[in-house]
Homo-oligomer: A and B are copies of this chain.
Amino acid sequence: MSSKDIIDQFFNPKSIAVIGASKNPMKGGNRILINLTRNNFKGKIFPVNPNAEGEIFGWKFHKSISDIGENVDLAIFYVGNKIIPGLIQECIDNGIKAVLIEASGFEDGGAVGLALRDKIREITDNFTKLRIMGPNCMGFTKIEGDSNDPDEEKRGGLFTGFVPFFQYKRGNIGLISQSGMLNGGYLSYIFSRYPHMGFRYSVAIGNKMDLGETDFLEYFLHDDSVNVIPIYLEGFKNPRKFIKLCREAKKMPNKTIILTKGGVSEIGQRAGKSHTGSLAEDTRLIDGLIKQCGVIQAYNFYELFQLADTFSKLYITGKIFPIKGNVSMTTGSGGAGTISADLVNKYGLNFPNLTDQANALFDELYPEWMPHNKFALQDTWPTMEKAMMNKISPDIVMKKINDALLNEPEVEGLFSMMFVAKIFHSTTNFESVIKHLNSFSKPVFFWILGDAPSVTEFRGKLDEFNVPNFTTLEEMVRNFAALVQESKNNKKFTEYQKENSN
């Protein structure tokens, strides 16, 4: 069976058995059923529990796997570790080929756990008779339609974790994680906090007793619905294959991998060992490996999701990624300009010098008492003062400056500071400003401040149009720098972008 077919068996089952299904809402075996049924799983469900009677959510309880008597494509286990080897034998006996184990207590559970793992290896003939996802994982999520799709039939997908999701959006992100939290509490936080972020898959691979990160990564590389692949790993199952796949991705025009590696320090490795049984790895070897991969690195979960969001937006809007790192900025605050210039330098970017054409325009727009910079960082405050003195709309001047910077041949993108506040009774039509800036093929990033409700409102508007926006200057600069890293040494990538940009 090909690698793709194996994953398809997990992602596209027609029938699922939930071993450890329960009527008790405090139990994971109950919440898995909630997650499946409320999110519109279209196939059959067989709840299995020797002690349960009757039915749950319309599905009849079965005493055992053998009792089901129908074809089962996927079995999900939410039971204690010790009885799992026996149940796996029962799965094999009943022709089940795919098992998702959510319980822990194997590689992460000391000598007892390791003995259980060895037993499973033996029973499955080293995973030839049956393939396993997990153990110690929170399952996976495959999103077919938004949770608020007007057509109820289109909502949902396949949700196998024991933390139920009720709010989500389908998109171009395919997440692979060795922390269950990223298909659980943290992902639900992301869905709720950043409702514009769309996911296609989220896969918690757990201890990866059998299937690991490379199996899912390979699948995502060949799945056109996925552009951005954030990965959290505590250990590499097959470093050589991982590097190979990352290098392939780097050559593909529509794929970006972002990696967060946990357990890079000695104390982190001790933590990782008790978490997923990951073995200690030499930090220098890991560093070298990650460098060889050419993937974007994120150093914590927040950064991982923020970078995924940025890349996701730029793929959706078909922007041309910067190659040289030449960026421009308009700011209403000189202080923010100074700090940004330091950050631009820190992250290897540059504000290039302006052409005579841009300088001539700015000579007109700036007042005599405050000459403009000759490089692509413009403090626009003086132009606003001059415009107001001459009764010209500041919006028109702002548009001229932004357009001039984006039209500079050396400039590859724009940072725009936006102060939004109700007290200023601005007449600005944000939506038309956003639409206009989005008509450029160069990426525009916003730094937003103002009163909290206005900031929330304007960020929501930018997210709606897939324009990256930040509340810290450093995040804005760091995210732009990641685009440069991604397009570097990868002409094909940028050329594809150019050919396909609007």
Interface residues, chain A, with chain B CB atoms under 8 Å away: 26, 80-82, 104-105, 108-110, 112-113, 164, 166-167, 177-182, 184-186, 188-189, 192-193, 232, 234, 260, 262-268, 270-272, 274-276, 299-303, 332-346, 350-351, 368-373, 375, 377, 379, 382, 388, 419, 421, 423, 449-453, 455, 471-474
Residue from the list B189, B303, B346 in contact with A455, Cβ < 8 A: B189
> Please, which residues of chain B bring their CB within 8 A of the CB of A300?
339, 343, 472-474
Task: Name the CB-closest residue of B to A381.
Answer: B104
- Chain B nearest Cβ from A179, distance in angstroms: 2
> Please, which residues of chain B bring their CB within 8 A of the CB of A301?
335-336, 339, 472-473
Cα of A272 to Cα of B271 in the assembled complex, Å: 45
- Chain B nearest Cβ from A203, distance in angstroms: 14
Contact present for A371 and B110 (CB under 8 Å) = yes
- Chain B nearest Cβ from A349, distance in angstroms: 9
Contact present for A344 and B452 (CB under 8 Å) = no
Given contacts A339-B268, A341-B268, contact A452 B189 (CB under 8 A): yes
Contact present for B338 and A369 (CB under 8 Å) = no
- Chain B nearest Cβ from A115, distance in angstroms: 12
Task: Name the CB-closest residue of B to A189.
Answer: B449
Residue from the list B338, B350, B382, B449 in contact with A104, Cβ < 8 A: B382
Contact present for B262 and A180 (CB under 8 Å) = no
Residue from the list B333, B345, B423, B474 in contact with A186, Cβ < 8 A: B333
Task: Name the CB-closest residue of B to A186.
Answer: B449
Task: Name the CB-closest residue of B to A80.
Answer: B369
Contact present for A339 and B260 (CB under 8 Å) = yes
| Chain A to chain B: the 7 pairs with minimum beta-carbon distance, closest first | A179-B335, A275-B334, A105-B369, A265-B345, A268-B342, A262-B338, A181-B333
23 CB-based A-B contacts, threshold 8 Å: A104-B370, A109-B370, A167-B451, A179-B333, A180-B333, A181-B332, A185-B419, A192-B451, A192-B453, A232-B335, A234-B335, A263-B338, A265-B341, A267-B351, A268-B338, A271-B340, A272-B334, A274-B334, A274-B379, A275-B334, A275-B338, A299-B474, A300-B474
Contact present for B382 and A342 (CB under 8 Å) = no
Contact present for B265 and A346 (CB under 8 Å) = yes
> Please, which residues of chain B bring their CB within 8 A of the CB of A471?
302
> Please, which residues of chain B bring their CB within 8 A of the CB of A388?
26
> Please, which residues of chain B bring their CB within 8 A of the CB of A344?
265, 267
Given contacts A185-B421, A300-B339, A333-B185, contact A373 B264 (CB under 8 A): no
Contact present for B369 and A192 (CB under 8 Å) = no
Cα of A303 to Cα of B373 in the assembled complex, Å: 27
> Please, which residues of chain B bring their CB within 8 A of the CB of A108?
334, 370
Contact present for A271 and B334 (CB under 8 Å) = yes
**Central interface residue in A180, A234, A369, by most chain B CB within 10 Å:** A369
> Please, which residues of chain B bring their CB within 8 A of the CB of A177?
335
Contact present for B423 and A164 (CB under 8 Å) = yes
> Please, which residues of chain B bring their CB within 8 A of the CB of A164?
423
Residue from the list B184, B268, B338, B473 in contact with A345, Cβ < 8 A: B268
Contact present for A276 and B334 (CB under 8 Å) = yes
> Please, which residues of chain B bring their CB within 8 A of the CB of A184?
333
Cα of A487 to Cα of B449 in the assembled complex, Å: 33
> Please, which residues of chain B bring their CB within 8 A of the CB of A337?
271, 275
Contact present for A335 and B180 (CB under 8 Å) = yes
> Please, which residues of chain B bring their CB within 8 A of the CB of A340?
271
Residue from the list B185, B266, B368, B423 in contact with A449, Cβ < 8 A: B185
